[in-house]
Amino acid sequence: MTELISTEPATGEILWRGEAGDADAAVANARAAWPSWAALPVMKRIEVVRRYANRVRQHADEFAELISRETGKPIWESHTEVESVIKKVDISVTAFAERTPQRKLSSPADMRAALRHKPHGVLAVLGPYNFPAHLPNGHIVPALIAGNTIVFKPSEKTPAVGQFLFDILQKSGVPDGVFNILQGGPDTGKNLAANDDIDGLLFTGSAQTGVALNRQFASRPDKILALEMGGNNPIIVWDTGDIHSAAVLVVQSAFLTAGQRCSAASRMIVKDSLYDRVVREVKRIADRLIIDGPFSTPAPFMGPVIDNDVADGLTESFLALMSHGGRPVKHMARPIENRPFLTPGIIDVTSMAERPDIELFGPILQIIRVSNFEEAIAEANNTRYGLSAALIGGSADQFNQFWSHSRAGIVNWNKMTVGASSEAPFGGVGLSGNHRPSAYYAADYCAYPVVSMEADQAKASIGIGLKDEDSGDAEDEASSAGQ
């Protein structure tokens, strides 16, 4: 068996050890458990997930500490993640009732028409490392309520949080086989996705992996595939009298969670006449950000990125932008040797001949200066991604123009690109998703609608297009006589 080891990004200490699981065995367990779980009344399934929410609440401090240790994010941020896990249950119950209802449809007087929803069966859930509890939980809870059984593979970078999530659900009364954890690396994930006995896969992660899954499932329209991927998200700063607030929103959008959010702002598009003041203020605030371990005092704004390999890649990306014409405003640095802490990097890429359209999943902000609002919108849409976009400043008419022309699933005004509500749908277009938004709309991909026409007795007649019975008998006799 392959051994998995998880280390704390902030310290390098080993946090968790375990072995990779067997995808086929986990799917078989889920398949065996599915009929009885799906047959339970929905209120029984809701009771289980409510007990789960209560148990998470009881262990909130322990859970938040584990998230911070395994991801490196500040403890205050981990507490908000745990709170999101708890709130997801009530939100999902409401969404299930609203999005997948059982209701009567209009019909003739002699029959009934009904709409009901059925679970798909066995669903695989692949979780990311940046929100290792909240994001997979956003798939798991709606899928369980709908009556599916689950095989959950956490990110190989955050297996301890995945195991904690599994243990709490098991102790909340989920029957054996209904919720299965599958630890392992990329090969284990590939084996799970390729298993012919899953009925669908719910994924949050990179566009590269999402595209590979989309190709793999292209010949299987019978399997549900929900992809929530990354972004190359723009934040436009336009006419505003409050430069400081604009800069704060930019810094929060770009550098919360060390920039490791799919909705983080990667590109600041700024009006030429505001450029000097906005960039100066963004840099001034970024210079003041505390970057430290998750439990440090004073509390840090951001911790490390997930590991040294990611930190090395981001550093190389910043250098590549410089070598291709980018002008550094604030250099990215590694303040602690051999640990994946990064200071925010800010770079003007206006003069670059070709700007890379990739997701830089970390604290790098690219700046592009433009002269008019139409150019700003065109630059915002200059990406294959389409997850989140924001306008800071401008008029109501300009926001309406921005909203109308933006190709993104989230379009905000005078708010961050990050921090979407679980009470709204969450998803994007292009390389950011496949039109199956998660959060409040997760219920849509966890069950499918079944429409029924019903009557107590079979009564039917054909009123047109039939031969007269007598003429039909005469024709039959004539045909017999001629033989």
For the annotated catalytic residues, the residue numbers are: 228, 262
Phi, psi of 142 (to 5 degrees): -60, -35
Distances (CA, A) of 136 to 140, 153, 229, 419: 6, 9, 13, 17
CA angle 316, 126, 167 (to 5 degrees): 115
CA 156, distance to chain mean position in Å, is 17
Cis geometry, peptide bond prior to residue 298 (ω within 30 degrees of 0)? yes
Cβ–Cβ < 8 Å for 442, 95: yes
Cβ–Cβ < 8 Å for 230, 206: yes
Q: Is 371 exposed, middle or buried (0-12, 13-18, 19+ CB in 10 A)?
A: exposed
CA distance 206 to 360: 11
SS3 of 21, please?
coil
Distances (CA, A) of 414 to 56, 186, 230, 384, 395: 34, 39, 22, 24, 11
DSSP-assigned states of every residue in 364-404: EEEEEEESSHHHHHHHHT-SS--SEEEEES--HHHHHHHHH
> Which amino acid type is present at position 152?
F
Residue 234 token pair:
């723009």
CA distance 92 to 217: 27
> Which amino acid type is present at position 193?
A
CA distance 268 to 251: 10
CA 338, distance to chain mean position in Å, is 31
The continuous run of DSSP H or E covering 233 comes out as strand 233-237
Cβ–Cβ < 8 Å for 101, 114: no
Cβ–Cβ < 8 Å for 193, 201: yes
CA distance 165 to 163: 5
CA distance 418 to 249: 10
> Which amino acid type is present at position 9?
P
